[in-house]
A and B are shown apart, each in its own frame.
Chain A
Amino acid sequence: MMTALTKTRRVNTLPLITPSVLVLFLWMVVPLVMTLWFSFQRYNLLNPSVKGFAGLENYKSLVADSALWTAMLNTLVLVASVLGVTVVLGTLLAVLFNQEFFGRPVARLLIIAPFFVMPTVSALIWKNMLLHPVNGLVAFLTRSLGLEAIDWFGNWPMTSIVMIVSWQWLPFALLILLTAIQSLDNEQIEAARMDGAGASALFFFIILPHLKRAISVVVMIETIFFLSVFAEILITTSGGPGLATTNLAFLIYIRSLLEYDVGAASAGGVIAIVLANVVAFFLVRTIARSLEEG
């Protein structure tokens, strides 16, 4: 009886969901297949006479090129640093913003504001108004302390990018973690207080475990976005100096649109996909485990 019922239902719903599944499938697969296809082709926009099947040539030259490894490392450094900054600061700020203090609504609005600034604009703000060695606010502050101005993008390029991206994404982490903290049962905190938990014990034994799930969600979502940071790099350092801030996304851009080598760029794209999947695999697995324990 039961199986008959489910069987008829499957037959009935299949035609209904097929179109959307098909569209989504094509949407995903066509670019993927095209990228794969181009990555095995000789394809340079500057030189139409170079064509034909390249085999693994694109990959070989990419792998042999140290730029790829630098870019990969940069990608991982960028993702890990910004994750660290946003999660740690976001957690601490969430605890802070969960307390009553004077001017909290205004402070909350201010700290969330960067999330609504588009990446290009925030990169420009940081480049021209905050970190500029002559006109920047930071330079003004260091000068007024009698120190030398720092050429941020010249000497600390990766740190600068990490600062910019963290500034943009801190509100996101804060918002998610704050809502999570607010869902913490107040009686649990009171019970812990009666059990003798001080501020730090409360944080490590009660609040942090409660936030574990939310932190996993933040890490998962942010990783997806941080793997493809681009606008901030293009506007501030253009991947430099040298390759200091070139991540995979930017390397692909260099290959395809600056060197017009579509084949090599596609190979880079495939490698980016592989990297993203490797990261996602480990991430999803650890997070799924932590969620199960919840």
Chain B
Amino acid sequence: MASVKLRDIRKTFGRTEVLRGIDLEIEDREFVVFVGPSGCGKSTLLRLIAGLEEITEGDLLIDGQRVNDTPPDRRGLAMVFQSYALYPHMTVADNMGFSLRLAGATKDERDRKVREAARALQLEPLLDRKPRELSGGQRQRVAIGRAIVRNPKVFLFDEPLSNLDAGLRVQMRIEIARLHESLDATMIYVTHDQVEAMTLADRIVVLRDGAIEQTGTPLDLYNHPENIFVAEFIGSPKMNLLPVRVKTVSDDNVTVTLPDGGALDVPVKSDQLGADEQVTLGVRPERMRISERGQFVGQVLVAERLGSETYLYLQIEGGEMLTIETDGDSLARIHDRVAVEVKGENCHLFNSAGEAVGRAD
């Protein structure tokens, strides 16, 4: 029904280049999430697709049609804004029906479509209220309802949940996922919350400084980050990164020297690395285990108990910090010394340029 294709899209504001050549194909009914740190150009990219900003260079195609110069309302898109952007002087029903009214729909048709959308979002009792008489979550639903009424080919969301409290955010996340399921629409969603990205996306696009760092399914990014930036950005708490030195290289195996002098075999493609090279070893906190035979020994600086799990922040010999995830009822306490074990197959290696060394499979 609706595919979106970006070909070498660039955007400059005055002299600053905010987007530096974005190539991306979004398929019909796909749920794509743009993530990245603040200021990386996520919103700008979304606004370019929406038609709210002009594209400096490159082509934007919706369903194969070049729409660079098509005004926003004729692109067949609907956008949900971070601030909801409801019209304060109109009732909920009028807000939702505004686009139909401008398009010249009859009152009956407008009412019918608004009711339909309101039913799907449990907004029916609120149709006669003004936006200021609604809670944050209800406003958010109205904003989504306003988008649904237009029956767009593509939904655009710019951090729609960032103004909600944690509980409501989880609830709305589920609702958006259900909506995607039931509407069969293409959705493009911007967030800097990586939990939202992981849970909602068919495909995640990680942006940094106006360029795509990596595109892939959530698990793809989690298991096979292509560089240190993506490795650190996806996953919570962050991946541990340790500077290590390559000791020996053999077929499909690289042995590195750990800070304490011990050795660890990492099963990665070895042809790119040479002995004695300085590399970065990456291990996710949830892949580390407290164990007598641990390679790392460190002192607990902070213990965060979340109930279901505990995060320990260790300072290991050599001064490096490590984060590990352990059981909720862990007995480790501050100032304790604990030993942590990692398995080579759970580790990532990054070369001196920060790029991942491919896994040997």
A residues contacting B by CB (< 8 A) are 185, 187-188, 190-197, 201, 205-206, 209-210, 212, 293-294
Contact = CB atoms under 8 A, between A and B. Distances in A.
A190 B99 CA distance: 13
Contact of A187 (B51, B85, B98): B85
A275 to B, nearest CB: 33
8 contacts: A190-B52, A190-B72, A194-B73, A194-B78, A195-B146, A196-B102, A197-B73, A206-B87
B85 A185 contact: yes
B89 interface: yes
B166 interface: no
A194 B79 contact: yes
Contact of A191 (B71, B81, B103): B81
Nearest to A188: B85
Given A188-B87, A201-B102, A195 B81 contact: no
B289 interface: no
B151 interface: no
Interface string B58-95: 00000000000001110001110111011111100000
B150 interface: yes
Given A187-B81, A294-B89, A194 B98 contact: no
Contacts of A185: 83, 85
- The interface residues of chain B, by DSSP majority, are classed as loop
A292 B88 CA distance: 13
Contacts of A294: 89
B50 interface: yes
Chain B, interface size: which category?
20 to 34
B89 A209 contact: yes
B43 to A, nearest CB: 11
Contacts of A293: 89
A195 B102 contact: yes
A191 B85 contact: yes
B81 A190 contact: yes
Nearest to B98: A195
B150 to A, nearest CB: 7
Contacts of B52: 190, 193-194
Contacts of A191: 79, 81, 85-87, 146
Nearest to B156: A194
Contacts of A212: 89
Contacts of B50: 194
Contacts of A194: 50-52, 72-73, 77-79, 99
B77 to A, nearest CB: 7
A201 to B, nearest CB: 6
